[in-house]
Amino acid sequence: MDFSNANARNNMKQFWEGHSSDGSLEEMMLDSNASILTKHELPEVMSLLPDLKGKRVLELGSGIGRFTGILAEASGHVTAVDFMTSFVEKNREVNGHRSNVDFKQADVMTLDLPLNSYDVIFSNWLFMYLSNEELLALATRLLGWLKDGGHLFFRESCFHQSGDKSRNFNPTQYRKPRDYNSIFQGTSSSVNQNEGALSYGFQLIMCRSIQSYIKLKNNPNQYSWLWQKTQQDVDANHGFKSFQQFLDSRQYSLNSILRYEKVFGDGYVSTGGPETTHEFLEMLGLKEGQMVLDVGCGIGGGDFYMADKYSVNVDGIDLSSNMIEVAMDRAQGQNQPKVIFEIGDITKREYNPESFHVIYSRDTLLHIQDKPAIFKKFLTWLRPGGKLLISDYCCGELPHSDAFKAYVAQRGYTLYTPARYGQLLEEAGFVSVKAEDRTWQFKDMLQKELNRMMDPNLDILKGFTEEDVRALQDGWRSKIERVDAGNQKWGLFYAEKSA
């Protein structure tokens, strides 16, 4: 809805005036089962927020205060803002006794607030009523209202439900998750300091579907996001505003992902595809009902396999929004409720201690520079006796060739020898560490995959351009050359947390 259009604004106002006479939960959520949904949704959403203790929170689209009270209990102060006077008054009636809540009736597009004044901005079902231009303009203002390192959390409906007649007006945008990612990744602001201008932007921490809506309404199209205001460094991100943009634009473009899948097998984008996945998972002794975190889950083939064969619950996280969009599309046809996918930065993500029985990662941690820090996080997130299994790109002993050093720099990898990798796990506190140099297996897989690419009878790359196919074949030949030169290695790592 274009809020600069007076008729559109008036239509929206009239609609909500007609659905706010009682100021009830059912009216606000446009759902007769609102109380049941809220019972499950509220704790889920709150679990996704950063620590609010002592923090200043701005709640946009606060409605009748469904979240206001619980936000106030967890934080130092809440400013609750809504467009509808009746909703604001109902919120004041319910939460006005709280000394740490201020109530504002205001249009978010004309809201005037001090810069750097909030630690967290919280929004629920608001942005879908804004055009792309308006949302981009608002995102810039949100960035300004947040303190350095502050967080933005929002939740939106991403697709219009066919046959939904609950509204007699249409929001402007039912966006895909990637559309929101694009808008907020494109947001930036500059602040002049003594040492020069500093550029700030939003860094994506997490994007995932609301599980309550999947379980209670079979609706997978409710999504939540967590972003952080950070200083941007395009040099560190290879000319992009964020490392995620670098990945999605280069190595993990949608076209590249689909090419990798053709080589590795349906659902897989890592070495050996289903063959190595089946082999490695046998090492973990997975048991029904266990919780598994898959770091760098790709397009989800291994996660579906784990859930189907072992009946475990899998949280799959990947920084590439392209990867997760493919995984979520595939999930629609899998009907596997034990698998959850999330776009997220594992270096910024926080889980409760002892959340998982197993942490699993395939050819992903090569992207992470501070491996000791992520290993310590893994140890914290694992339950006593929990297991860790990683396959990853490694390097041979020095010296390395100039070509290999250029390759590592171009990809932004941080690589260690297999032996050093194992030492880092031990130094992080893991026990029963096994660090295996599996380069022999890596080369064997590479050669098999290259042979399949070049077999005209298999034609596994049908549908791609000759340039795409040639680039893929050349990439595999280069990997084999790096392995033969002793520069590139591949390691398999198993470790446990003390019982």
SS3 248: helix
- The class of domain 243-496 in CATH terms is alpha beta
SS3 241: coil
Q: Which residue has tokens 């249009």?
A: 107
Query: In what helix (H) or strand (E) does residue 410 lie, and over which residues does it extend?
Result: helix 402-411
| Residue 354 in this model has a pLDDT that exceeds 90 | yes
Highest mean pLDDT among 15-24, 141-150, 236-245: 141-150
- What contacts 465, CB < 8 A, 6 or more positions away? none
In the chain, where are the structural domains located?
6-231, 243-496
More confident residue, 20 or 119: 119
| Residue 72 in this model has a pLDDT that exceeds 90 | yes
Backbone angles phi, psi at 493, to 5 degrees: -130, 130
Burial 154-176 (b: 16+ CB within 10 A, else e): bbbbbeeeeeeeeeeeebbbebb
**Domain 6-231 belongs to what architecture?**
3-Layer(aba) Sandwich (3.40)
| Residue 397 in this model has a pLDDT that exceeds 60 | yes
| Residue 11 in this model has a pLDDT that exceeds 80 | no
pLDDT in tens, 360-384: 999 999 999 999 999 999 999 999 9
pLDDT in tens, 311-343: 999 999 999 989 998 998 888 788 788 999 999
- Of 57-71, 232-246, 310-324, 336-350, the poorest mean pLDDT is in 232-246
More confident residue, 236 or 496: 496
Cα gap 210→46, rounded to integer Å: 11
| Residue 165 in this model has a pLDDT that exceeds 80 | no
User: Quick check: do 6-231 and 243-496 share a fold?
Assistant: yes
- Of 293-302, 336-345, 391-400, the poorest mean pLDDT is in 336-345
